[in-house]
Amino acid sequence: MQQPTFTIAAGLEIPRLGFGTFLLDGDDAYRSVRTALETGYRHVDTAQGYRNEAEVGRALADSEVDRDDVFVTTKLTPSHAAAPEVRRSTEESLRQLGVDRVDLLLLHWPAEHVAPLEETLEAMSAVRDDGLTRAIGVSNFPSAMLRRAYELAPIVTDQVEHHPFLAVGPIERVLEDHGGFLTAYSPIAKGEVLADPTLNEVGDAHGVSAIQVTLRWMLQRPAVVAIPKSRTEERIRANFDVFGFELTEQEMARIDGVDRGYRIVDPDGGPDWD
């Protein structure tokens, strides 16, 4: 099934509905990624910190889908932010994934307690120039930090928590100013969208679930990539079944109004959010 993409650069497009793998490990990670690829996902998101790159790589290798048809993202752990570790850990990620390059390499969290941002992004740019990744970006950067990152390197995205209950307007505006895109993790708020009356009312009007409404809402915005995660085959397939209906402008506005600044992921030592 054809799905919308966002153009990162000449010859490089990212499918806007990806498959997240956070908290998937072992056989669960392998089976889930295999199911996602069979369903039609062509974008898989992992990270060094998820400790499942080997299982993701095995699923890619065993799938009938050609490797070049799958957009693969991984992320550097903050402890690998110093220049030598950027390269060493990226090379190790490629070995774990069984690929000669990834499509997108992100810095998972701000890490200036480990190395200056300038050093990290310079090293990430170098591994991109050497062909280990096709693009670079950041994750969990608030808008001021994101703006600074754009001054230092040709990043393409900021991967942050985003769902109907948590708007990220300041981050989106920085991305828009630089031609980048937002990658939304926890896009269905760990399933909490299922209890929202507005999302359910909109879903009922289309014969779909509140989760499907949420993902469709993201896909109808111009520069948002969503990476829902599930370990069950039924939900993996349902999350991908969002291309057969379209939300009206009024419905989009209603969903915009669900925002209440509700953040799920906010660890000790994390950044100061807008």
What is each CA distance from 46 to 20, 96, 186, 228, 230, in whole angstroms?
A: 7, 11, 14, 12, 13
Inter-residue contact 161 to 261 (CB < 8 Å): no
Look up 50 and say whether it is catalytic. yes
Spatial separation of the C-alpha atoms in residues 239 and 178, rounded to whole Å: 30
Spatial separation of the C-alpha atoms in residues 210 and 216, rounded to whole Å: 10
Spatial separation of the C-alpha atoms in residues 175 and 86, rounded to whole Å: 24
Residue 9: other Cβ atoms inside 10 A: 11
What residues are paired with 15 via a beta bridge? 5
Check 50, 150, 185, 262 and give the catalytic one.
50
Q: Tell me phi and psi for residue 157, to 5 degrees.
A: -155, 165
* Helix (H/G/I), strand (E/B), else coil: 50: helix
Residues with a known catalytic role: 50
